[in-house]
Amino acid sequence: MSNASDIPFAKTTKYIGAALPRATAKRFLFGRGRYTDDIEVPRMLSAAFLRCPYAHARILAIDTTNARKFPGVHSILTGVDLARICRPWVGTLTHFAGMKSAPQLPLAMEKAVWSGHPIAIVIAETRAQAEDALEAIQVEFVELPAVVDALDGLNEHSALINEAAGDNLIYATQIEAGTIAQAFEDAEIVEADFIFGRHTAVTMEPRSILANFDPSTGRLDVHQSTQTPYQFQDVYARHFNLSEANVRVVAPDVGGSFGMKLHVYHEDMAVVGASIISGRPVKFTADRMESFASDIHARDHRVRARLAVSSEGILRGFDVDDVTGVGPFSTYPRTSVVEGNQVVRLIGAAYRVTDYRAALRVVAQNKNQMSQYRAVGHPVAFAVTEYLVDLAARKVGLDPFEIRRRNYLTQDMYPHTTATGYQIERLSLEICLEKLHEVMDYAAIVAEQERLRRTGVYRGIGIATYVEITNPSPAFYGVGGGHVSAQDGCILKVTQSGEIQCMISVTEQGQGTEAIIAQIVAEAVGTDIATVRVFTGDTDMTPAGGAAWACRGAGVGGETALQAGKKLKKRIVEVAGAILHCPAHHLTLVDGRIVDAQQHTRMTLRELAHLSYFRSDLLPAGRPAELTVAHHHGPSGFPFAFTNGIHGSLVEVDVETGIVKILKHWVVEDCGTVINPLLVEEQIRGGVVQGLGAALFEECRYSASGQLLNGSMADYLVPMACEMPDIEVYHVETPTRDTELGAKGCGEAGTAASSAAALNAVNNALSVFGASITQIPMTPERILRAIGAVG
């Protein structure tokens, strides 16, 4: 087991304003023909953090005297130092009425509220020197009672994490539609209690940041592994009182994010503050154990749910209670409420149910923060929904496919508003269901399952439907005052050589965004994709926009690129028409060639660019050679574009060991217009792996005192290639009519219902023993306990 002592946890800080040496560079003096040695270039420093070893503790004193003497140490900063230059942030949004959360600062001051909470930052010439100095910092703590379980946090006698709030309840809401009491009268009722274990992103590339503040110009440059550079440009400008024009954030190709890199982290703010105070570039990269202790976690939910069903198999109503523990604060700026909110609003979304009640309570606890992670809330919502639907099918004697046929929303019901208020343009649920039935060869695998059961081999078949939120409008964050953009911008320009440069605000996280944007631009303009260069992730180069979150890269970013491409094509043929003395509407652009109505090539794009840039005198008077366009697009019409689909999972359960082997997994998905089938399929497969990881392996386990017990790759289980099945992906296309492109999103579809399908498959295998399991992950021990093989 990993131990809290493996991370630089405290013994502690104070800022030392020592003189900071600078490297010297040569400058060539133009006009004098010589170099001079009078430029000082700041050397980069490395940061390391001292973290609280307790889940909940008062900080009485910090002594950095000895640590300051260590070689290479330039300064040590505590919460007091950074509080002087950083305005606190609060993770609340106004449309979540009554929500409350404590103000946050880069480093803990009077109190630390989770094991791993940073309380001091050492900046030194090297990371090793900074970590050595951490060992010499002395901190005096008073350990406080920890709130570890969310349900315990609701107890009136529980310790308070935020004393000013008066309790540990961050947010509560209730949804009621129809007449829920009447729905449950004279109905068959199925119910279950669910426990969903915390897990975390485990990105290939950990969080990293390099901040460089130049005090002579007031300029801050930040290179950061993030999904949303414009969001962080806004955050750093507002909270450090800088001009936004003087803040540049660069997010190069990022090695995985999955929502984890959306949020403001204490370490990032501390590194920026350290650079401002020192006037030096400061860098920090979280090691893997720090990532477990500080990257946001997700899916910590306790759900009690009931479903009423008629004897004919018609679903009549859902009744749901969800309690979720989110750590000591609500994250900023997107909050830690969104996941729970989506759980209670997505349950039952695929079905024609009008009677619905749900209560949500979001609770503070002394664990790492929890917030948005791939398929926010969806896996919880659909595990609850689909488990209950399968239970209802068994209750009334229906096949799992048949009960869904009787209750899905169908083509004659759109547009549709769910019982929880979501407005859905159009789905393809019944089409996806029949396609899955076909590709699974359902009758054959059921027959094989029955045959194998007679030999003592227990296979299970599970299916699970999902409805996924994509292309969010300002209804998601903007209406609540969040500085989170729902629109994207694109600038296209023809270069002097006739190639296309595309500067766009969506970012590349390894999901293929740059590839699809190049594909869309090339097709819209009428040129070869090889001539299109896409630039992303730089606030000095690209237009402002929302970037990467909620599967909006194709749906919002792609539409932006499409409309910009059409504008540029129109501009090109107008300039060509002026040069050729030909009406523009008689010309078009095909494969980089301007052709007339008879498809005769009149000139190439390269030739047009040459004339426009170098022989503009050939253009008619008043006709500028403008070969640059810009376009911005934000969702309009429906507040969200909903995708849908269905997963199927085939598993085999070893009833002697409790080990589950996943034999095969199918997904039939509908993400609207499919731009690049290979990218869609691999996004789905990657998402399925993450969902199956949550279903069977991944869980952040805490002790009763709030210590993370498995915060290393030696102890935290992630799915390996040898444990994953063949994953077959099939497409149905129902384009959204809100955009010309028609794309929705696919990045979360694989994760949204794969764990639900696996849950139903395992329970289908266990049904022969009269056993069931409703806790995720489904570990061997839990499965054996469910079938009574262990006490």
pLDDT in tens, 497-510: 999 999 999 999 99
Summarised one tens digit per residue, pLDDT across range 66-80 is: 999 999 999 999 999
Summarised one tens digit per residue, pLDDT across range 381-397 is: 999 999 999 999 999 99
Is residue 691 within 8 Å of 752, Cβ to Cβ? yes
Mean pLDDT of 224-236: 97
Euclidean distance between CA atoms 27 and 38, whole angstroms = 7
Stretch among 19-33, 248-262, 590-604, 662-676 having the lowest mean pLDDT: 19-33
Name the pLDDT band for 10 (thresholds 50, 70, 90). Answer: low
pLDDT at position 410 is 97
CA angle 727, 348, 696 (to 5 degrees): 40
Mean pLDDT of 623-639: 92
DSSP for residue 370: B
pLDDT at position 27 is 43
DSSP for residue 587: -
What's the CATH number for 487-633? Answer: 3.30.365.10
Residues 6+ positions from 434 with CB-CB distance below 8 Å: none
pLDDT at 134 over 80: yes
| Cβ atoms within 10 Å, residue 713 | 14
Euclidean distance between CA atoms 190 and 26, whole angstroms = 77
Is residue 708 within 8 Å of 293, Cβ to Cβ? yes
pLDDT at position 25 is 46
Euclidean distance between CA atoms 791 and 787, whole angstroms = 10
pLDDT at 14 over 70: no
Euclidean distance between CA atoms 556 and 577, whole angstroms = 32
pLDDT at 13 over 70: no
Structure tokens at 10: 């405290």
pLDDT at 295 over 80: yes
pLDDT at 32 over 60: no
pLDDT at position 19 is 34
Architecture of domain 297-474+637-786: 2-Layer Sandwich (3.30)
Euclidean distance between CA atoms 308 and 353, whole angstroms = 10
Chain-centre distance for alpha carbon 464: 22
Superfamily (CATH H level) for 36-144+202-294: Aldehyde oxidase/xanthine dehydrogenase, a/b hammerhead (3.90.1170.50)
- Count of helices and strands (H, E) across the chain: 18, 33
What is the percent of the chain where pLDDT is above 70? 95
Amino acid identity at 476: F
Mean pLDDT of 229-240: 98
Question: Which residues of the chain are in CATH 3.30.365.10 domains?
Answer: 297-474+637-786, 487-633
Name the pLDDT band for 41 (thresholds 50, 70, 90). Answer: low
pLDDT at position 619 is 85
pLDDT at position 622 is 79
What is the percent of the chain where pLDDT is above 90? 92
pTM recorded for the entire structure? 0.94
Question: Which residues of the chain are in CATH 3.90.1170.50 domains?
Answer: 36-144+202-294
Cβ burial, residue 678 (10 Å; 0-12/13-18/19+): exposed
